[in-house]
């Protein structure tokens, strides 16, 4: 099956964009990532990932409103494209398929 | 994109600038916005320091490829050097230059004069430093020099001369000295048909042509100077005497001991290069008598140059040490005997001077048969003036271009609006300055060609444009051209390209500030010009002083006729014949050349003095007063063997209270003379020297060499004719030549005369270029204020008021320049005048005159334009626009 490769970080960022729906921009994504995954990532890393995802056609963007705390600068708001959505779904179904194929005793038990 | 207020705090400015600088423009807004947002939050939760630090980290983390990459534009800009744009630049440049003819002419004239001056000086300097470097062995070539040390070891004086011994004896005793040549000048009488003339000749050892690279056109360089009766002539002399340069084996007649002897031409040499310290027309073998070689006291007789070639591995210090060992060992006896006679314990130390250092050496100049010795200060001052002129021309260019740029503001605006980048504009304006400079560069070659003959005359050179075909010099000129273009074009280009398009298109551009740069440049220009005016005035006054000062004797209507080895009887006969003519007042013979020696006074004091062999007529003829005692007289026959006269300086040096009757003891003859009279000090040397001790003798053994003939005023032609006729009748085989004493005296100030010419040229050029600059600025300022002038006139201002209005600004600047120029000029001129024991004082009138000259020239320049502006019908100026 021919598919587009998504790096792990790219995947998380893409998912976060989907989570934030219509209000996804650099800082918000960084914060959301921090909140949801506990990963403290730099803004530049997020920007780089967003930039790359846009180049790959999985994200599209438009300039949003400006706010005072941004010194009058506008946000770039990202939305997931159909291609992005497709990629996420592909990954998910692939993972599900893999999970389903694991025999019950194959994974060592995790004590909680 | 200036940061707007973020409320409580501002992110670190430097970090922000860094981000703005490296971040891709299309990403900057969002990135910066995100960072600000984060900063504001950090500020609230973490405090200012942490927030700042985090901001920095975040910015630095953005240094990664995606943020640095520039997004490809939707429309690719026209490349900087696309043929179409280049064509456009050139077209615009030419249109601009031809539309503003006055502006272009002023700039081209100014720049070409500046460039020509700079090129001239480069030519001059190149020639100066290239002296004597054409000899194949120039690096191994040295001249033997010596210094006299006082008993306590201090240097008494240096002398570049040697005698007959150092050459052969050092060659023999010092293995590093491979070969030597002695060289000196003399005059010999030469016969051409029935004419006899005194000819300057040079004597040299036979090694001459193997040491120096003077090519022979014909003849064998090894043997040309071996036969004592051989002669090598230059191609010019050959051409003149034989009509051909194939003169090998032909004969020239020179006088030896009262009769003319044939000398065989054994070589014809190419003309000596212009940059050679050795220039000969006629070269003869150096003949040294055996008895001279046997007389060891000849170590102390110095009168010529000796050059040596050292072996490549020679150590200079060691060679010098060995030379002195040889000297001390060889001259031991003579040193002792002289020390005994004189009672002095000073000594002589020999050293070596690199051959190529001679030309510009101040201490050991190229003299005594060597020519063109040069003072390096002259090069510095010339270079200084040339730099001044070039600088002023560049200043004009900058000022005019910037001032005129207002007119081009619209063009700049349009170019920017349609997408011209700043670099493009800078390159365009620089290109225009290059075109202008190139035109000036071409003109400057023409100017150079025109100026060279005059300059050669002033600088005593034979420079020509053909000298330009030298890689270094051509490179220098190209560099000069580039530097000038950049220097004059860069600043205006920067200013012009910085105009904001919005403002220019609404014609709201004004030169920012009060335009201090332009003003200070005008001040600088006039300061330089005033400096040179003061310098010229001082040099003129000093020259005038030197040439018109009372010398202490009367040099008017005095004809000097040279006659070597004139015997007493011949002198008397000549006088008898001459005074038969009523135009001739009196005749006084004296020695030829200049003689000096040392005497012991009162058994201890040593006096160095010049002495003259004269007779009783000499002092009255020159109207030199006798202060004490009496003149020589025929009444006292003993005068001719036992009496001397001395001047005041002599008396002072000897420390006599009562000079009459004192005894002078010539150390070398051990003969005593009594002083019978004291002569008033007179300037027998140039006024750049203090009056030295002088002594007059009638001693019979000394030959005369000159005859001074006083003639009646306004009888020059007849008298000279008669003198020549009489001379030729009495001395048919002696060369006849005459000179007027006052003219000879003037010749001593040739260097000052040249200086004053150079300074005058420099001053005139500087003023001229400054003025054309001022003229340009005044034109522009008048143009800019056309409307204002119109309104003022309508409201009733008079022409005078308007001229005053327009000129005052400039005149203020010119006056300001005096504050800079006057102290500098005062100091420099004081330094220069200190070289002269007899000098003028720097006077206030020079400064006042300079101020008047500068202000009136500036006023004339400016008022021309002001007047035109003021006279224009106001209706016209108000109607336009």
* B756 vs B213, more confident: B213
Chain A residues within 8 A of B37 when measuring between CB atoms: 27, 67, 69-70
- Beta strands, E only, B451-500: none
Please determine, for residue B408, whether its predicted confidence score (pLDDT) is greater than 80.
no
Most confident of B95-104, B188-197, B515-524, B608-617: B608-617
B522: Cα within 13 Å, side-chain hemisphere: 27
Q: Which residues pair with B269 in a beta bridge?
A: B216, B234
* B81 vs B95, more confident: B95
Chain B residues within 8 A of A26 when measuring between CB atoms: 30-31, 34
Q: Give the list of residues 6+ apart from residue B21 with CB closer than 8 angstroms, or none.
A: none
Chain B residues within 8 A of A72 when measuring between CB atoms: 4
Task: Say yes or no for a CB contact (<8 Å) between A42 and B34.
Answer: no
* Average pLDDT of chain B to the nearest whole number: 84
> Alpha carbon B792 to chain centroid distance?
53
Chain B residues within 8 A of A75 when measuring between CB atoms: 30, 33-34
pLDDT of residue A70: 83
Please determine, for residue A97, whether its predicted confidence score (pLDDT) is greater than 90.
yes
Closest CB from B4, B27, B34 relative to A43 = B34
Please determine, for residue B407, whether its predicted confidence score (pLDDT) is greater than 80.
no
Closest CB from A51, A66, A67 relative to B66 = A51
Please determine, for residue A3, whether its predicted confidence score (pLDDT) is greater than 60.
no
Distance to chain A for B28, nearest Cα, Å: 10
Chain B residues within 8 A of A51 when measuring between CB atoms: 27, 66
Please determine, for residue A18, whether its predicted confidence score (pLDDT) is greater than 90.
yes
Distance between CA atoms of residues B405 and B82, nearest Å: 25
**Mean pLDDT, to the nearest integer, of B765-778?**
82
State the burial class of residue B456 (Cβ atoms within 10 Å of its Cβ: 0-12, 13-18, 19+). Answer: middle
pLDDT confidence bin for B343, thresholds 50/70/90: low
Q: Which two tokens stand for residue B761?
A: 């040229």
Q: Give the list of residues 6+ apart from residue A112 with CB closer than 8 angstroms, or none.
A: none
Task: Give me the architecture of the A8-94 domain, per CATH.
Answer: Orthogonal Bundle (1.10)
The region of weakest confidence among A42-56, B19-33, B332-346, B804-818 is B332-346
pLDDT of residue A1: 41
Chain A residues within 8 A of B41 when measuring between CB atoms: 69
pLDDT confidence bin for B129, thresholds 50/70/90: confident
Distance between CA atoms of residues A12 and A8, nearest Å: 6
pLDDT confidence bin for B669, thresholds 50/70/90: low
pLDDT of residue B267: 92
- For residue B306, give the 3-state DSSP assignment: strand
Task: Say yes or no for a CB contact (<8 Å) between A74 and B29.
Answer: yes
The region of weakest confidence among B60-74, B123-137, B195-209, B537-551 is B60-74
Most confident of B109-123, B224-238, B358-372, B864-878: B224-238
Closest CB from A26, A67, A71 relative to B30 = A26
pLDDT of residue B708: 92
Task: Say yes or no for a CB contact (<8 Å) between A42 and B58.
Answer: yes
Closest CB from B34, B40, B64 relative to A26 = B34
Closest CB from B4, B29, B37 relative to A27 = B37
Distance to chain B for A91, nearest Cα, Å: 26
Task: Say yes or no for a CB contact (<8 Å) between B7 and A52.
Answer: no
Domain locations in chain A as residue ranges: 8-94
- For residue B658, give the 3-state DSSP assignment: coil
The residue assigned the tokens 């000029």 is B825
pLDDT of residue B309: 93
Closest chain B residue to the Cα of A41, Cα to Cα: B58
DSSP codes of every residue in B861-875 = HHHHHHHHHHHS-HH
Distance between CA atoms of residues B407 and B459, nearest Å: 45
Task: Say yes or no for a CB contact (<8 Å) between B36 and A26.
Answer: no
Distance to chain B for A28, nearest Cα, Å: 9
Chain A residues within 8 A of B5 when measuring between CB atoms: 71
Query: Which positions 93-152 of B are in contact with A (Cβ < 8 Å)?
Result: none
* B291 vs B826, more confident: B826
Instruction: Give the H or E element holding residue B711.
Output: strand B704-711
Cα–Cα distances in angstroms (integers) from residue B270 to residues B206, B218, B233, B284, in the given order: 18, 9, 9, 16
Please determine, for residue B25, whether its predicted confidence score (pLDDT) is greater than 70.
yes
Please determine, for residue B809, whether its predicted confidence score (pLDDT) is greater than 60.
yes
Digit-coded pLDDT (tens) for B729-739: 888 878 888 89
pLDDT of residue A106: 81
The residue assigned the tokens 């000097």 is B560
- For residue B16, give the 3-state DSSP assignment: helix
pLDDT confidence bin for B2, thresholds 50/70/90: very low
pLDDT confidence bin for B126, thresholds 50/70/90: confident
Digit-coded pLDDT (tens) for B36-54: 988 988 888 888 889 999 9
Q: Give the list of residues 6+ apart from residue B344 with CB closer than 8 angstroms, or none.
A: B151, B606
Chain B residues within 8 A of A54 when measuring between CB atoms: none
Percent of chain B with pLDDT over 70: 95
**Mean pLDDT, to the nearest integer, of B175-203?**
88
Chain A residues within 8 A of B67 when measuring between CB atoms: 44, 47-48
Digit-coded pLDDT (tens) for B692-738: 899 998 887 788 889 999 999 988 899 999 999 999 888 887 888 88
Percent of chain B with pLDDT over 90: 18
Give the number of other CB atoms < 10 A from CB of residue B111: 29
**Mean pLDDT, to the nearest integer, of B653-671?**
79
Distance to chain A for B19, nearest Cα, Å: 12
> Assign residue B369 a region: left if phi > 0, alpha if psi is -120 to 50, beta otherwise?
left
* Average pLDDT of chain A to the nearest whole number: 87
pLDDT confidence bin for B656, thresholds 50/70/90: confident
Please determine, for residue B88, whether its predicted confidence score (pLDDT) is greater than 50.
yes
Q: Which residues pair with B381 in a beta bridge?
A: none
**Helical spans, DSSP H, in B737-798:** 741-747, 750-784, 786-794
Give the number of other CB atoms < 10 A from CB of residue B873: 10
Task: Say yes or no for a CB contact (<8 Å) between B33 and A71.
Answer: yes
Q: Which residues pair with B158 in a beta bridge?
A: B147
Digit-coded pLDDT (tens) for B303-317: 889 999 999 988 999
Q: Which residues pair with B671 in a beta bridge?
A: B666
Mutate to test the interface with A, among B2, B32, B35, B37 (most CBs of A within 10 A): B37
Give the number of other CB atoms < 10 A from CB of residue B757: 17
* B8 vs B768, more confident: B768
CB-defined contacts A:B, below 8 A? 73
Distance to chain A for B48, nearest Cα, Å: 15
pLDDT of residue B1: 40
Closest chain A residue to the Cα of B28, Cα to Cα: A73
Q: Does B68 touch chain A (CB under 8 A)?
A: no
Task: Say yes or no for a CB contact (<8 Å) between B66 and A73.
Answer: no
Q: Which two tokens stand for residue B57?
A: 């980290």
Angle, in degrees to the nearest 10, between helices B750-784 and B786-794:
70
Task: Say yes or no for a CB contact (<8 Å) between B32 and A75.
Answer: no
Distance to chain A for B78, nearest Cα, Å: 27
Give the number of other CB atoms < 10 A from CB of residue B197: 13
């Amino acid at each position: 099956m021919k598919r587009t490769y998504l790096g792990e970080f790219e995947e998380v960022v893409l998912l976060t964009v989907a989570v934030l729906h219509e209000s996804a921009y650099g800082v918000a994504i960084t914060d959301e990532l921090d909140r949801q995954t506990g990963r403290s990532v730099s803004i530049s890393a997020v920007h780089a990932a967003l930039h790359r995802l846009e180049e790959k056609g999985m994200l599209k963007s438009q300039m949003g409103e400006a706010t005072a705390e941004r010194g009058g600068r506008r946000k770039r708001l990202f939305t997931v494209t159909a291609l992005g959505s497709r990629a996420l779904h592909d990954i998910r179904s692939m993972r599900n398929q893999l999970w389903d194929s694991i025999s019950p005793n194959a994974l060592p038990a995790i004590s909680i | 994109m200036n940061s707007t207020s973020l409320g409580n705090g501002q992110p670190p400015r430097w970090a922000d600038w860094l981000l703005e600088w490296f971040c891709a423009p299309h990403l900057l807004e969002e990135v910066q916005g995100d960072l600000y947002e984060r900063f504001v939050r950090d500020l609230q939760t973490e405090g200012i320091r942490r927030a700042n630090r985090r901001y920095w980290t975040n910015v630095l983390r953005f240094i990664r490829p995606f943020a640095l990459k520039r997004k490809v534009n939707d429309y690719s800009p026209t490349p900087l050097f696309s043929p179409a744009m280049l064509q456009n630049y050139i077209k615009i440049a030419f249109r601009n230059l031809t539309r503003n003819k006055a502006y272009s002419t002023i700039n081209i004239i100014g720049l070409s004069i500046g460039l020509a001056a700079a090129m001239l000086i480069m030519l001059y300097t190149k020639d100066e430093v290239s002296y004597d470097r054409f000899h194949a062995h120039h690096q191994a070539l040295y001249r033997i020099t010596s210094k006299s040390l006082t008993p306590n070891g201090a240097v008494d004086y240096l002398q570049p001369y040697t005698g007959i011994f150092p050459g052969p004896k050092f060659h023999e005793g010092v293995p590093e000295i491979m070969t030597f040549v002695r060289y000196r000048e003399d005059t010999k009488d030469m016969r051409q048909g029935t004419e006899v003339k005194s000819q300057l000749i040079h004597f040299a050892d036979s090694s001459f042509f193997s040491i120096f690279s003077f090519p022979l056109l014909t003849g064998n360089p090894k043997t040309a100077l071996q036969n004592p009766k051989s002669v090598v002539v230059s191609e010019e002399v050959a051409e003149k005497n034989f009509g051909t340069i194939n003169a090998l084996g032909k004969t020239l007649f020179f006088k030896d001991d009262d009769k003319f002897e044939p000398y065989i031409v054994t070589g014809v040499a190419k003309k000596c290069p212009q940059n050679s310290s050795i220039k000969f027309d006629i070269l003869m073998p150096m003949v040294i008598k055996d008895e001279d070689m046997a007389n060891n006291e000849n170590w102390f007789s110095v009168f010529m140059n000796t050059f040596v070639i050292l072996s490549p591995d020679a150590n200079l210090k060691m060679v010098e040490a060995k030379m002195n060992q040889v000297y001390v060992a060889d001259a031991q006896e003579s040193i002792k005997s002289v020390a005994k006679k004189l009672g002095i314990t000073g000594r002589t130390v020999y050293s070596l001077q690199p051959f190529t250092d001679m030309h510009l050496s101040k201490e050991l100049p190229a003299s005594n048969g060597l020519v063109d010795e040069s003072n390096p200060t002259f090069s510095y001052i010339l270079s200084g003036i040339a730099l001044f002129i070039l600088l002023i021309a560049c200043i004009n260019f900058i000022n005019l271009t910037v001032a005129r740029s207002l007119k081009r503001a619209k063009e700049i605006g349009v170019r920017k609006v349609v997408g011209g980048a700043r670099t493009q504009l800078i390159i365009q304006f620089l290109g225009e300055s290059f075109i202008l400079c190139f035109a000036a560069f071409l003109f400057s070659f023409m100017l150079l060609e025109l100026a060279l003959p005059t300059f050669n005359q002033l600088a005593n050179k034979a420079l020509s444009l053909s000298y330009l075909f030298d890689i270094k010099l051509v490179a220098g000129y190209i560099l000069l051209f580039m530097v000038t273009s950049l220097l004059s074009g860069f600043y205006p280009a920067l200013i012009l390209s910085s105009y904001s398009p919005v403002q220019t298109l609404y014609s709201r551009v004004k030169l920012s500030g009060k335009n201090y740069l332009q003003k200070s440049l005008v001040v600088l220009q006039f300061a330089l010009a005033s400096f040179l005016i003061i310098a010229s005035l001082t040099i003129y006054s000093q020259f005038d002083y030197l040439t018109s000062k009372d010398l202490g004797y009367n040099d008017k209507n005095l004809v000097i006729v040279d006659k070597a080895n004139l015997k007493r009887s011949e002198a008397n006969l000549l006088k008898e014949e001459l005074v038969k003519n009523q135009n001739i007042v009196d005749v006084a013979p004296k020695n030829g050349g200049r003689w000096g020696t040392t005497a012991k006074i009162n058994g201890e004091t040593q006096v160095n003095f010049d002495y003259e062999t004269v007779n009783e007529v000499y002092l009255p003829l020159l109207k030199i007063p006798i202060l004490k005692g009496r003149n020589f007289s025929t009444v006292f026959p003993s005068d001719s063997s036992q009496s001397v006269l001395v001047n005041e300086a002599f008396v002072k040096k000897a420390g006599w209270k009562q000079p009459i009757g004192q005894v002078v003891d010539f150390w070398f003859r051990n003969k005593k003379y009594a002083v019978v009279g004291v002569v008033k000090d007179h300037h027998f040397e140039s006024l750049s020297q203090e009056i030295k001790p002088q002594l007059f003798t009638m001693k019979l053994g000394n030959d005369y060499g000159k005859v001074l003939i006083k003639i009646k005023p306004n009888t020059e032609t007849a008298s000279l004719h008669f003198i020549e006729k009489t001379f030729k009748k009495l001395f048919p085989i002696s060369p006849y030549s005459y000179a007027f004493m006052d003219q000879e005296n003037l010749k001593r100030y040739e260097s000052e005369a040249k200086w004053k010419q150079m300074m005058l040229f420099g001053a005139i050029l500087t003023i001229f270029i400054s003025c054309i600059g001022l003229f340009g600025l005044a034109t522009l300022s008048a143009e800019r204020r056309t409307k204002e002038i119109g309104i003022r006139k309508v409201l009733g201002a008079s022409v005078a008021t308007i001229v005053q209005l327009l000129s005052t600004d400039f005149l203020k600047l010119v006056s300001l320049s005096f504050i800079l120029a006057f102290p500098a000029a005062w100091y420099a001129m004081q330094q220069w005048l200190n070289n002269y024991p007899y000098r003028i004082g720097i006077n206030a009138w020079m400064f006042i005159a300079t101020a008047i000259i500068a202000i009136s020239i500036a006023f004339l320049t400016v008022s021309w334009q002001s007047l035109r502006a003021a006279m224009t019908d106001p209706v016209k100026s108000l109607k336009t626009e």
